[in-house]
Amino acid sequence: MNNKKIKNIQSYLLAVLGCAALILADQFTKHLAVLHLKNQEPFIIWKGVFKLEYLENRGAAFGIMQNRQVLFSLGAILIVCLIGYFYGRMPHTPRFYLLRICSVMVCAGAVGNLIDRVRQNYVVDFFYFELIDFPIFNVADCYVVVSCILFGFAILFYYKEEELSCFTHKKE
């Protein structure tokens, strides 16, 4: 096996392990939320600003589209498949580490919430920014938001247009 194939395999293995670690962290925090926050008063971290408050979210972001678990589950599976496809098209070079990390984080977020939807028919949320009355969210949501911000930054300011042609042209 040549050196390039070994590097590709290492890249995929690292992505799978990273994704698994992030999913485990998400599921662990949700488990802690169930143990310590469910049926309890919110845990105030900074009065009037931030607290931990248990919520069973049967909708999507901001609680929209309640009780559409099949749709959300199919969407998460589609996202993971698309990211897997584009991950395979990315050059296996250090220059693309940022996009690879973003890909892993989006997958971990999608799978973390998918596990909840399949297992419980709802997603456990528990972070609440009371100061701005931001909807309650969880660690998986953080992965998706942070990775999308990084992705937007990378596309706008880091990568050149020709570098991103790997996503639009046939792979050789």
* Annotated active-site residue in 26, 116, 133, 141: 141
Percent helix, strand and coil across the chain, each to the nearest 5: 65, 10, 25
Tens of pLDDT, residue by residue over 149-172, are: 999 999 899 988 888 887 776 654
Tens of pLDDT, residue by residue over 70-129, are: 787 888 899 999 999 888 888 888 899 999 999 999 999 999 999 999 999 999 999 999
Query: How far is Cα 68 from Cα 61, in angstroms, rounded to an integer?
Result: 12
* Annotated active-site residue in 26, 116, 125, 133: 125
Has 133 been annotated as catalytic? no
**pTM as predicted:** 0.88
